[in-house]
Amino acid sequence: KNEVEQSPQNLTAQEGEFITINCSYSVGISALHWLQQHPGGGIVSLFMLSSGKKKHGRLIATINIQEKHSSLHITASHPRDSAVYICAVETSGSRLTFGEGTQLTVNP
């Protein structure tokens, strides 16, 4: 079993839909990161959180430390949101362990 599990692996949505991507982990962490990777490969850090909830524009990330679970929500999805979304947990020394990623496709 991977230390970081994401679901779903693939997600197709229509423009405007509300999207949720889930991440569960099995180790003790100091923080959890949500990352976005576009087809060219470049990675953008979306959120780093260790408790509660963060919001940036149409993106919302939540984490429940007791349940070892985090969710990434996208409101009013748009085709430009199409990308791979990766959950990564931070353990000792800022070391990151990554989930397999969720391929999101938003159709117009």
Partner 1 sequence: GAVVSQHPSWVICKSGTSVKIECRSLDFQATTMFWYRQFPKQSLMLMATSNEGSKATYEQGVEKDKFLINHASLTLSTLTVTSAHPEDSSFYICSGSGSREQYFGPGTRLTVT
Q: Which residues bind partner 1 (CB under 8 A)?
A: 31, 33, 35, 40-45, 48, 86, 88, 93-101
Q: How far is CA 13 from CA 31, 34, 40, 107, in A?
A: 29, 19, 21, 6
Nearer to partner 1, 17 or 82 (CB): 82
Structure tokens at 23: 């991440």
Nearer to partner 1, 17 or 22 (CB): 22
> Which CB, 27 or 43, lies closer to partner 1?
43
Nearest approach in angstroms of CB 1 to partner 1 is 15
Least distance from partner 1 to the Cβ atom of residue 46, Å = 10
CB of 13 to partner 1, least distance (A): 21
Tell the smallest beta-carbon distance from residue 106 to partner 1 (Å): 20
Give the pair of three-digit tokens for residue 96. Answer: 């990151």
Contacts of 68 (CB under 8 A, 6+ apart): 24, 25, 26
Tokens of 56: 């940036």
Please state, in angstroms and rounded to a whole number, the distance separating the CA atoms of residues 4 and 9: 13
Minimum CB distance to partner 1 smaller for 71 or for 97: 97
The dihedrals phi and psi of 30, each to the nearest 5 degrees, come to -100, -20
